[in-house]
């Protein structure tokens, strides 16, 4: 067995604009849905921005990007995944022309990445729909958003086309089923949103994604466009065939997004779901043609697996299972209740490769934990052996999948520098290799301190995975 990853493997880290940039009202930026989510998905949105929203300043990447990218380069990053804030380019989302200051900021970020030889991997829409599009149009339930998104993509492709090879259309697109406001910019309360409206919104996003893929091929020959889904391997809770079917049906919720992105049409099981639930989507002939513009690769996040059962008495929900599912009684969980299952990553990689036969890219994986800043030999750091163990075990399973024949492009650890959590909007839920001195109450110096995992990941990259411990 080989102990290294394929030659040219893209090692790096991943972030999102709303969780790192700050400067929420600078450079001509408009408001996004994140500016009214001071507690993430744990509380209902506020009317407008409020001071307790840590994302207003986040970790101030907007002003400190050069310093942060230099740290990524020191770790040896080959790729950096970041998102562009839609409302920094189109402040309201429905304007005719883009905001020049917003384009200039991302141009400076790309300059810095080029200086260090780091490949950019850009997420076009990462949980930050412009607030105006959410409030005026009810987000992606409205077909007009397809055109607004296409105009946004055109601006990005025309300005950055020659500089960015890898693009992702929507972050964790399947999460809209569970978090319609954060994922789809749909302000209608979840309990009042009909399945009809939800799946029409999903259809609009899928068409927009396919149109972006088509546009990318026209404007940027040689660029690659991927979809991005939240991977959630689903196991039957018991060997009872009813549990196996329950697990299959839950898995199909997420498969559908990949199937449509990779095959260019709706799968039969989803059409049955529509029939069974009285859902009749408005799908034009042009929509069907657009969907045939399939992706070049499939990227995904992986944090946990779940179980499913047909036995209602056993259908308990784990505290960290945002996407539902029953906790696996054989697994341990993180401090936030996310179940830890390294082998599930190998399962997901094999499953997706066999299903779609498209190159795969792990663009999020990591451990959210409470870190303690300590002093070692006069230097401030964090002894995060728990994070090293978590990442090591997941990467060993990714390497196993490569041995299995899976074509894997790269790995970007989530929150490579501490950032504001998406689900809870806390700073204390830390993922990074770099500690950022900022607290949940907003206090702190903002200084950056490499953790023990920083040096560990540096070695993993330098050895192309050979330093991993089986």
Catalytic residues, which ones? Answer: 364
- Rounded to a whole number of angstroms, the CA Rg of the chain reads 21
Distance CA 25, CA 399 (A): 43
Distance CA 202, CA 170 (A): 11
Assign 321 to helix, strand or coil.
coil
Distance CA 409, CA 415 (A): 19
Task: List, as one string, the DSSP characters of 211-270.
Answer: HHHHHHHHH-TT-EEEEEEEE--EEESSS-HHHHHHHHHHHHHHHHHHHHHHHSS--HHH
Task: List, as one string, the DSSP characters of 323-345.
Answer: T--BPPTT--B-TTSPBP-HHHH
What backbone torsions phi and psi does residue 229 show, to the nearest 5 degrees?
-125, 155
Q: Tell me, what DSSP letter sits at residue 325?
A: -
* Lookup result for tokens 């779901």: 273
96: number of Cβ within 10 Å: 6
Return the beta strands (E) in 44-173 as ranges.
79-83, 119-125, 166-170
- How many alpha carbons fall within 13 Å on the CB side of residue 308? 20
Distance CA 179, CA 85 (A): 19
């Amino acid at each position: 067995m080989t102990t290294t990853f394929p030659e040219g493997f893209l090692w790096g880290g991943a972030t999102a604009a709303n969780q790192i940039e700050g400067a929420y009202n600078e450079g001509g930026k408009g408001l996004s849905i994140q500016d009214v989510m001071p507690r993430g998905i744990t509380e209902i949105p506020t009317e407008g921005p409020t001071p307790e929203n840590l994302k207003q300043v986040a970790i101030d990447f907007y002003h400190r990007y050069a310093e942060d990218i230099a740290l990524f380069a020191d770790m040896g990053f080959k790729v950096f995944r970041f998102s562009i804030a839609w409302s920094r380019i189109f402040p309201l989302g429905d304007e005719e022309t883009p905001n020049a200051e917003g384009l200039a900021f991302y141009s400076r970020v790309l300059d810095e990445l080029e200086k260090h030889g780091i490949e950019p991997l850009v997420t076009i829409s990462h949980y930050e729909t412009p607030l105006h599009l959410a409030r005026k149009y009810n987000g992606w339930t409205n077909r007009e958003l397809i055109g607004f998104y296409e105009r946004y993509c055109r601006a990005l492709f025309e300005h950055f086309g020659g500089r960015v090879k890898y693009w992702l259309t929507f972050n964790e697109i399947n999460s809209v089923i569970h978090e319609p406001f954060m994922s789809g910019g749909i302000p209608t309360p979840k309990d009042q949103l009909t399945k009809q409206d939800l799946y029409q919104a999903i259809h609009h996003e899928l068409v927009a994604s396919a149109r972006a893929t088509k546009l990318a091929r026209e404007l940027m020959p040689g660029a690659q466009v991927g979809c991005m889904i939240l991977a959630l391997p689903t196991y039957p809770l018991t060997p009872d065939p009813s549990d196996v079917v329950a697990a299959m049906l839950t898995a199909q919720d997420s498969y559908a997004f990949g199937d449509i992105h990779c095959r260019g049409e709706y799968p039969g099981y989803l059409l049955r779901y529509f029939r069974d639930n009285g859902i009749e989507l408005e799908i034009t002939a042009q929509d069907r043609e657009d969907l045939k513009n399939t992706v070049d690769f499939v990227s995904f996040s992986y944090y946990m697996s779940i179980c499913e059962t047909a036995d209602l008495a056993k259908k308990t929900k784990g505290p960290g299972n945002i996407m539902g599912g029953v906790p696996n009684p054989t697994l341990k969980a993180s401090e936030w209740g996310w179940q830890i299952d390294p082998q599930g990553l190998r399962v997901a990689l094999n499953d997706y490769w066999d299903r779609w036969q498209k190159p795969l890219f792990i663009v999020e994986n990591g451990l959210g934990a409470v870190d303690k800043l300590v002093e070692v030999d006069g230097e401030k750091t964090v002894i995060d052996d728990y994070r090293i163990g978590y990442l090591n075990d997941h990467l060993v399973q990714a390497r196993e999948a490569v041995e299995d024949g899976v074509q894997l492009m790269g790995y970007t650890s989530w929150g490579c520098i501490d950032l504001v959590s998406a689900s809870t909007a806390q700073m204390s839920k830390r993922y990074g290799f770099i500690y950022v001195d900022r607290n949940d109450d907003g206090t702190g110096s903002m200084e950056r301190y490499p953790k023990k995992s920083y040096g560990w990941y540096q070695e993993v990259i330098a050895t192309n995975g050979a330093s991993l411990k089986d």
